[in-house]
Amino acid sequence: MKRAVLAALLALPQDAPSWEKVRSFAYQLQDLDPAKAGDSRFDLLITDVSRDGTEKGRWTAKDVAAMKKRPKLVLAYLSIGEAETYRGYWEKAWDADGDGRPDKGAPEWLGPVNPDWAGNYKVRYWDPKWQEIVFAYLDKILDAGFDGAYLDIIDAYEFWGDRKTAEQEMVDFVKAIAAHARRKQKHFGIFPQNGDGLASHKDYVEAVTGIGREDLFFDGNKPQPARETADGVKNLEVFKKAGKLVLVTDYPTKSERIDEFYKKTAEKGFVPYATVRELNALTVNAGHEP
Give the domain CATH number at 204: 3.20.20.70
Evaluate the CA torsion angle 14, 20, 21, 24 in order and state its sign. Answer: positive
Does any domain span residue 116? Answer: no
How far is it, in rounded angstroms, from Cα 56 to Cα 122? 24
Query: Looking at residue 8, what is its pLDDT?
Result: 35
Quote the number of domains for the chain.
1
Residue 101 falls inside a structural domain: no
How far is CA 165 from each of CA 170, 207, 220, rounded to the nearest angstrom?
9, 19, 34
Is residue 280 included in any domain, yes or no?
Answer: no
Rg for the chain, CA atoms, rounded: 19
Residue 209 lies in a domain: yes
Residue 236 lies in a domain: yes
C-alpha 220/C-alpha 203 separation (Å) is 33
Which residues are CB-contacts of 102 (< 8 A; sequence separation ≥ 6)?
A: 94, 95, 110, 111, 112, 121
Asked if 191 and 212 touch (Cβ cutoff 8 Å), the reply is yes
Under the banding of pLDDT at 50, 70 and 90, the label for residue 70 is confident
pLDDT value of residue 2: 42
pLDDT at 288: 97
pLDDT of residue 134: 98
Q: Which of 207, 227, 203 is nearest to 217 (CA)?
A: 227
Task: Please state the pTM of the whole predicted model.
Answer: 0.93
- Answer whether residue 158 shows pLDDT above 90: yes
Cα-based torsion angle of the residue sequence 92, 50, 116, 211 in order, rounded to the nearest 10 degrees: 130
C-alpha–C-alpha distance, residues 66 and 37, integer Å: 8
Cα separation, 285 vs 98, in Å, equals 40
Assigned domain for 237 exists:
yes
Report the chain's mean pLDDT, rounded to a whole number: 94
The CA dihedral of 214, 279, 176, 24, to the nearest 10 degrees, is: -70
Q: Which whole number is the average pLDDT over 161-181?
A: 97
Q: Are strands 222-223 and 245-250 parallel, antiparallel or unpaired?
A: unpaired
Residues 6+ apart with CB under 8 A from 268: 233, 236, 237, 240, 246
pLDDT, mean of residues 116-129: 96
Q: How far, in whole angstroms, is CA 73 from its chain's centroid?
A: 13
Domain that holds residue 65: 23-81+125-274
Burial profile 209-239: b = 16 or more Cβ within 10 angstroms, e = fewer = bbbbbbbbbbeeeeeeeeeebeebbebbbbb
In a domain, 142, yes or no: yes
Strand ranges for 120-265 from DSSP E: 120-123, 148-152, 189-192, 210-214, 218-219, 222-223, 245-250
Query: If you average pLDDT over residues 125-131, what whole number do you get?
Result: 98
Let me know: does 232 contact 196? Beta carbons within 8 Å: yes
282 domain-assigned? no
